[in-house]
C-alpha cells in the first residue's frame, strides 16, 4: 500500500520515459535522494511536467511505496526556480556541477537536512550573483567533502603540529593531510600547495571573502578537491559538467 508523502525537493536530473512521461532524480528534505515518475509530464498541457524541472526547489506530494524503486509524483508547487541561473551559462555550468555531485555521490534514501539546506542556499547565492559562480561552487564543494566524511585537513602540519602555515610552500597527502616545508620531505606528496592556494582554501573552508588575487586560484582549488575526492572514492571520475566545458574551450 502506498503512503502519501509531502516534502520539499530539488530536481537533480530529468529524462524522458516512454512516449509521454518523465523520470526525475530528486534530493528531498526528508527522504534524501530518490527517483520518481511524472506520468504524462511531457504533454505540452502538463503543468506538473513544467514545474518538475532541473534546479527547481519544490514542494511535492508523492506516493511512497517501499517495494518499488520509482515513486509517483502526484503534485508539485514551486518554492524557488532560480531564474538568473538558467539565463547565465557560467552559473548553469557550476550549478549543474553541484547537482552532479549530489546525484552521483549521495546514497539513495539517506536524508541529510544540512546538505539539503546547503543545496538550496548555494543556488540562492548563485541566483543573486553577488560572487562568481566558480567561487560559490568551490565553497559548496568544500562543504560537500565534509558532509561525505572527506574533510580537508588544513589547520596544522600533520608532521610537527605547526599551525602557522600561511607563508610557505606546502605539501598535501590525501591520507595524512597537510605538511609544512620542514616536514614535507618525509612524506609522499599528493598535491603541491602554494601559499596563495592555501590562503584561498582557508577562505573557502571558513566562508571568508576570497582575496582579489585568489580568483585566479579558484580553478586550482577545485582541481585539488576533485583529486582529493577521486583518491577516496575510486568510482568517482571527476566533475563532468566542468571538465566537458573546459575541454570544449581548449579545442
Residue 169 lies in a domain: no
> Do 192 and 97 share a domain, yes or no?
yes
CA neighbours closer than 13 Å in the CB half-sphere of residue 68: 13
Shared-domain flag, residues 88 and 66: no
Half-sphere exposure of 174 (CA within 13 A, CB side): 15
Instruction: Work out whether the CA dihedral 39, 45, 50, 51 comes out positive or negative.
Output: negative
Co-location of 107 and 17 in the same domain:
no
Q: Is the pLDDT of residue 250 over 90?
A: no
Question: Considering the chain, what is the average pLDDT of its residues?
Answer: 93
59/92 same-domain check: no
DSSP reduced 3-state for 32: strand
43-91: pLDDT as tens digits? 989 999 999 999 999 999 999 998 899 999 999 999 999 999 999 999 9
In a domain, 33, yes or no: yes
The string of pLDDT tens digits covering residues 185-207 is 889 999 999 999 999 999 999 99
How many structural domains does the chain have?
2
Does position 246 have pLDDT exceeding 60, yes or no? no
Please, what's the b/e burial string for 123-144 (b: 16 or more CB within 10 A of its CB; e: otherwise)? bebbbeeeebbbbbbbbbbbbb
What's the pLDDT at 166?
87
| One-character DSSP codes across 223-236 | HHHHHHHHHH-TT-
Q: Which domain holds residue 121?
A: 84-153+183-250
Identify whether 129 is part of a domain.
Answer: yes
Q: Are residues 134 and 219 in the same domain?
A: yes
Mean pLDDT of 114-141: 95
pLDDT in tens, 88-109: 999 999 999 999 999 999 999 9
CATH number of the domain enclosing 48: 2.40.50.140
- My answer on whether 120 and 76 are in the same domain is no
Same domain? 51 vs 147? no
Instruction: Kindly state whether residue 165 falls inside one of the protein's structural domains.
Output: no
Indicate whether 26 and 118 sit together in one domain.
no
Q: Are residues 17 and 56 in the same domain?
A: yes
pLDDT of 211-231, one tens digit each?
999 999 999 999 999 999 999
* Domain stop point among 58, 81, 104: 81
18 and 111 together in one domain: no
Look up the CATH number of the domain holding residue 139. Answer: 1.20.1440
Same domain, 10 and 111: no
- Residue 7 in grid coordinates: 516534502
Rounded Cα distance, 242 and 174, in Å: 22
State the pLDDT confidence band at 245, using cuts at 50, 70 and 90: low
Question: Is 166 within the bounds of a domain?
Answer: no
Nearest to 174 by CA among 233, 243, 237: 233
Same domain? For 142 and 191 the reply is yes
Amino acid at each position: 500500500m502506498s503512503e502519501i508523502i509531502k516534502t520539499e525537493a530539488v530536481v537533480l536530473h530529468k529524462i524522458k520515459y516512454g512516449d509521454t512521461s518523465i523520470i526525475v532524480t530528486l534530493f528531498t528534505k526528508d527522504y534524501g535522494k530518490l527517483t520518481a515518475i511524472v506520468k504524462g509530464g511531457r504533454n505540452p498541457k502538463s503543468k506538473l511536467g513544467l514545474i518538475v524541472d532541473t534546479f527547481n526547489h519544490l514542494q511535492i506530494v508523492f506516493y511512497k511505496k517501499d517495494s518499488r524503486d520509482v515513486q509517483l509524483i502526484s503534485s508539485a508547487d514551486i518554492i524557488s526556480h532560480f531564474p538568473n541561473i538558467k539565463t547565465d551559462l557560467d552559473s548553469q555550468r557550476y550549478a549543474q556541477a553541484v547537482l552532479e555531485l549530489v546525484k552521483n555521490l549521495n546514497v539513495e534514501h539517506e536524508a541529510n537536512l544540512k546538505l539539503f539546506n546547503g543545496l538550496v542556499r548555494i543556488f540562492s547565492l548563485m541566483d543573486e550573483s553577488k560572487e562568481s559562480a566558480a567561487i560559490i561552487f568551490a565553497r559548496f564543494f568544500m562543504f560537500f567533502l565534509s558532509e561525505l566524511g572527506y574533510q580537508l585537513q588544513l589547520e596544522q602540519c600533520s608532521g610537527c603540529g605547526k599551525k602557522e602555515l600561511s607563508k610557505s610552500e606546502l605539501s598535501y597527502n590525501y591520507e595524512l593531510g597537510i605538511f609544512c616545508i620542514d616536514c614535507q620531505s618525509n612524506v609522499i606528496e599528493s598535491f603541491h600547495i602554494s601559499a596563495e592556494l592555501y590562503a584561498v582554501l582557508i577562505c573557502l573552508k571558513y566562508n571568508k571573502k576570497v582575496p582579489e588575487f585568489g580568483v585566479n586560484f579558484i580553478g586550482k582549488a577545485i582541481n585539488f578537491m576533485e583529486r582529493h575526492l577521486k583518491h577516496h572514492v575510486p568510482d568517482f571520475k571527476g566533475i563532468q559538467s566542468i571538465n566537458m566545458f573546459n575541454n570544449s574551450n581548449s579545442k
